[in-house]
Amino acid sequence: MANGSALKGRKSGWKSLDNFITARDILKQYDAEAIRFFFLSKHYRSPIDFNRELIIESDKAVDNFYKALVGIGMDSLDENPVSSPEIFAHEESFQDSMNDDFNTAKAIATLFELANIARSANNELPLRQDAAKMLLKLGRTLGFFKDPEKRLTEEIPDLSKALVEMMLNYRNDARERKDWALADKIRNDLLELGIEIKDSPEGSTWNMRK
């Protein structure tokens, strides 16, 4: 009984010192994928201290993964299998990390490398597409990318919306001047970024390509 009372008192002490928080409380405040990243970015054998600043950084990291898919076109990611030897090397690196005592922290580093390849405008589009495909595949292994189309559609920043609207206005001006070459270029450039324009008698609208 004495031991039981001591244990009960110790637990109460943790809570009163604000050192106790439930998973349910965390999920109310932060995105589930950010929390997943937070834990997976640490080796499971290492002590993990909850840190709100690190959760915020984790959310930014997950957002970086999603931004790597913008401009690739989600539908193009399922059309053909990965063919680049360079990207296959990243898959092997990821598997080696997971086989190394479930080293998820090292595996996540591979996801960052793939995201950087997919986002770099210096790379050819086929390589960027392969990197995005592999990012999706390996990321889903760790529980990310449950519904990427929905997240990309809902979380396009307000500034990005303003920029798209500005480009749409430029395109409308070009169409009024019958500068079809410029209008088509703007349309195609936006499509490369995953933004689809639809023209109708009522005007032009846009949406994130699914």
**Of the segments 76-85, 89-98, 117-126, which one has the largest average pLDDT value?**
89-98
Domain-wise residue ranges, the chain: 31-154, 158-208
Burial class (CB within 10 angstroms; exposed 0-12, middle 13-18, buried 19+) of 129:
buried
Which DSSP category does 76 fall into?
A: G
Per the model's pLDDT, the better-predicted residue between 89 and 125 turns out to be 89
- Which DSSP string do the residues of 120-165 spell out, in sequence order? -TTS-HHHHHHHHHHHHHHHHHTT--SSHHHHHHH---HHHHHHHH
Give the confidence band of 7 by pLDDT, cuts at 50, 70, 90.
Answer: very low
**Helices assigned H by DSSP within the chain:** 2-16, 23-29, 32-40, 52-67, 85-99, 104-119, 125-141, 148-154, 158-176, 180-192
How do residues 167-195 score in pLDDT, each as one tens digit? 988 999 999 999 999 999 999 888 887 78
- The closest alpha carbon to 208, from 151, 170, 169, 167, belongs to 151
Which pLDDT value is given to residue 9? 33
For domain 31-154, give the fold. Four Helix Bundle (Hemerythrin (Met), subunit A) (1.20.120)
Q: Are 72 and 138 contacting, i.e. CB atoms less than 8 angstroms apart?
A: no
Give the confidence band of 11 by pLDDT, cuts at 50, 70, 90.
Answer: very low
For residue 22, give both structure tokens. Answer: 């439930």
Which pLDDT value is given to residue 20? 62
How do residues 123-155 score in pLDDT, each as one tens digit? 888 899 899 999 999 999 999 998 887 777 666
How do residues 45-81 score in pLDDT, each as one tens digit? 888 777 788 888 999 999 889 888 876 766 666 667 8
